[in-house]
Amino acid sequence: MTERLKNYIAGRWTSGDGAGAVLTDPISGEALVSVSSDGIDLDAAFRFARETGGAALRSQSYATRAAMLAEIAKLLQNNREAYYAIALANSGTTRSDSAVDIDGGIYTLSWYARNGAALGDAFALRDGADTALSKDASFRVRHVWTPTRGVALLINAFNFPAWGLWEKAAPALLSGVPVIVKPATATAWLAHRMVADVVDSGILPPGALSIVCGSASGLLDRVASFDVVSFTGSAETAALLRAHPAFVSRGARLNVEADSLNSAILCSDGAPGTEAFDLFVKEVAREMTVKSGQKCTAIRRAFVPQAWLQDVVQALSARLAKVSVGNPRNESVRMGALVSRAQLDHVKAGIAALSQEARLVFDGSTVPFVDADASVSACIAPHLFVVDHPDDARCMHDVEVFGPVATVAPYRVDRVATEGLQEAHAVELARRGQGSLVASVYSNDDARVSPVALALADTHGRVHCVTPAVRESQTGHGNVMPMSLHGGPGRAGGGVELGGLRALGFYHRRAAIQASSIALETMTNVADSHL
């Protein structure tokens, strides 16, 4: 019988009822641990977090809470090898792919620890300069941010059990808001182990950090007016959440990161043989294969000038042919498995849908696996498609295949474009994604990327521009950095995460305080901010 992972709520570890869900090794199918949240006292969990955890956190300054984050980061860093072992077993990822999740989460914590310390001994944040309300300026208004007196419920996705936890929890805890995390069931083990280590360390006050593993049933029913919910997952589930009374009637805040058909654009000066061409091909191939394509920011659509379509396809296919797929315990393997057989079925269904309007130019089904049984494992090799007429296409702009799958399509280069935007057609095609987390632009000319980036900005949360000048320093199309905005409009969810200290805004409430100039000047423990 597998070990049952307990839930940590109301300051104690509690086991759920029933058979629960079994977490498995996506390579061997071996049962690892089980989880269940059935029968646990969710009312007590939310009450304890709000009343005990929230009060304890708010009694500390930003600098003190930042110091707590620094201690958590140090603790997690010391336990990294245990986390790598869990990621290998439960997510089927190579060590380098596990690092994106584990080390990325630790780095994000460290960033908020360092930059949160700069807020000092304040307990509230000032929003801009005071403004006079009277002619003699004796009566003024000051806008301030104060921590919401609620709970931050974090409902996370399966692909980043570590980073997905800490990129949300770090700004919440720094803000003084207690966290209840609900990790995706399939890969909950890693998040559970990290939370257990933090709880055992005593770094945080009781009630500041809780975890519920298993079903999410009943969680939203406990969400009250001043709670906040951050969700990462499908647009279909997000639509159900938005209709819940917690948000419609009680006015709780909801932040959503959902589906995203991210794009990469090779500019019209990126001819074969140039640095921009090579950087583009390298990044598309990398984004297809890192974490087996299971990244919300992965490149799904690549747009190239019509004249170079075949050159791009040949170069990408050559790179993909070198990717060894299979058991990440074998040192020769560069790409591991999807997280489960169920996810494998979803990816295969997406491939079948794309096949109706696209031609397959790199067929991963012919690639042999290394030390992995295709009938048991959740392995799948990269699949690359071409859509020759993207204006007439539907699936490539609507269907996100959450795996090592991408589509290349040509665009028309406007040689008489004004304002230097010869890539207008590519921008138009990127916008067909109806709102995305990120688009990347590749050119040999630094001046060329600016108009393209600005044209993409209204429908993308982030625009990543790559030229030879940043060949070595650029952080990667799909890498989400804590100091940069993560989120996107439209079908990407309309949410906003990270963006440096701007992330604290979601966990604060803004108010206008109208008083005499003298009274406002006596308001202490308020730090300047740029939320």
> Per-residue pLDDT averaged across 333-343, rounded?
96
Is residue 530 predicted with pLDDT exceeding 90?
no
For 285-352, the three-class secondary structure string (H helix, E strand, C coil) is: HHHHHHHHHCCCCCEEEEEEEHHHHHHHHHHHHHHHCCCCEECCCCCCCCECCCCCHHHHHHHHHHHH
Q: Which of 167, 213, 257, 267 is catalytic?
A: 257
Band (pLDDT 50/70/90 cuts) for residue 266 is very high
Percentage, residues of the chain above pLDDT 90: 95
Closest CA to 512 of 130, 252, 135, 138: 130
> Per-residue pLDDT averaged across 333-358, rounded?
96
Sequence ranges of the chain with CATH classification 3.40.309.10: 262-481
Which pLDDT score, from 0 to 100, does residue 414 have? 83
Closest CA to 423 of 456, 446, 466, 381: 456
Question: What φ, ψ does residue 441 adopt, rounded to 5°?
Answer: -125, 135
- Fold classification of 262-481 is Aldehyde Dehydrogenase; Chain A, domain 2 (3.40.309)
Band (pLDDT 50/70/90 cuts) for residue 528 is confident
Which pLDDT score, from 0 to 100, does residue 421 have? 83
> Per-residue pLDDT averaged across 207-224, rounded?
96
CA distances from 511 to 35, 143, 144, 376, 514 (A): 41, 6, 6, 56, 10
Is residue 457 predicted with pLDDT exceeding 60?
yes
Name which CATH class applies to 3-258+495-529: alpha beta
Q: For residue 510, what are the β-bridge partners?
A: 145
Question: Is 465 tagged catalytic?
Answer: no
Q: Which of 167, 213, 283, 296 is catalytic?
A: 296
CB of 161 closer than 8 Å to CB of 195: no
Which pLDDT score, from 0 to 100, does residue 127 have? 93
CA distances from 505 to 178, 223, 528 (A): 15, 19, 13
Sequence ranges of the chain with CATH classification 3.40.605.10: 3-258+495-529
pLDDT tens figures, 5-56: 999 999 999 999 998 999 999 999 999 999 999 999 999 999 999 999 999 9
Question: Is 257 tagged catalytic?
Answer: yes
Is residue 293 predicted with pLDDT exceeding 60?
yes
Is residue 418 predicted with pLDDT exceeding 80?
no
pLDDT tens figures, 220-234: 999 999 999 999 999
pLDDT tens figures, 465-521: 999 999 999 999 999 999 999 999 999 999 999 999 999 999 999 999 999 999 999
Is residue 529 predicted with pLDDT exceeding 80?
no
Which pLDDT score, from 0 to 100, does residue 419 have? 53
Which pLDDT score, from 0 to 100, does residue 2 have? 82
Is residue 524 predicted with pLDDT exceeding 80?
yes
State the Cα–Cα distance between residues 104 and 109, nearest whole angstrom: 9
Residue type, 210: S
Question: What φ, ψ does residue 436 adopt, rounded to 5°?
Answer: -135, 160
Which pLDDT score, from 0 to 100, does residue 19 have? 86
State the Cα–Cα distance between residues 252 and 487, nearest whole angstrom: 19
Average pLDDT, the chain: 95
Residue 169 CB partners (closer than 8 Å, separation 6+): 152, 154, 179, 181, 209
State the Cα–Cα distance between residues 492 and 250, nearest whole angstrom: 24
> Per-residue pLDDT averaged across 113-134, rounded?
95
Give Rg (Cα) of the chain: 24
pTM for the full predicted model: 0.95
